[in-house]
């Protein structure tokens, strides 16, 4: 099983890295992103406690919180894990989520 970072999630990871680097330095940005990727790898082992995406989103997926971010993911048709998007806890979740899932 492979974890696949989908386009919206990849863009968000870039943004998270740049923001963290600019605010707290490169070492902290590296630690944060590395920790997030370690959490992605734990999905299949039920590491981060994932919850189903609420029905009002209209998609079959899951999410978990990694520090200040929510990671949204789903099972892909080939059995891999697709990380769909990553949103900061202060972002308007429903609008951003819909943009990234259906975008």
CATH of the domain at 34: 3.30.2310.20
Which residue from 33, 32, 40 is spatially nearest to 4, judged by alpha carbons?
40
Total number of domains constituting the chain: 1
Spatial distance between the Cα atoms of 87 and 71, rounded to a whole number of angstroms: 7
pLDDT at 94: 59
- pTM higher than the cut 0.75: yes
pLDDT tens, position by position, 29-67: 999 999 999 999 999 887 678 999 888 777 889 999 999
Spatial distance between the Cα atoms of 75 and 1, rounded to a whole number of angstroms: 10
Boundaries of domain holding 79: 3-102
Q: What interhelical angle do 93-102 and 7-24 show, nearest 10?
A: 130
Spatial distance between the Cα atoms of 102 and 68, rounded to a whole number of angstroms: 24
């Amino acid at each position: 099983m492979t974890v696949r970072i989908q386009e919206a999630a990849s863009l968000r990871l870039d943004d998270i890295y740049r923001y963290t680097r600019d605010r707290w330095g490169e070492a902290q940005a590296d630690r944060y992103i590395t920790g997030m990727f370690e959490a992605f790898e734990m999905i299949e082992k039920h590491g981060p406690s994932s919850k189903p995406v609420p029905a009002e989103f209209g998609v079959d997926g899951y999410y978990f919180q990694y520090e200040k971010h929510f990671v949204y993911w789903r099972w892909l048709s080939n059995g891999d894990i697709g990380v769909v998007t990553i949103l900061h806890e202060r972002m308007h979740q429903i609008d951003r989520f819909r943009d990234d899932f259906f975008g």
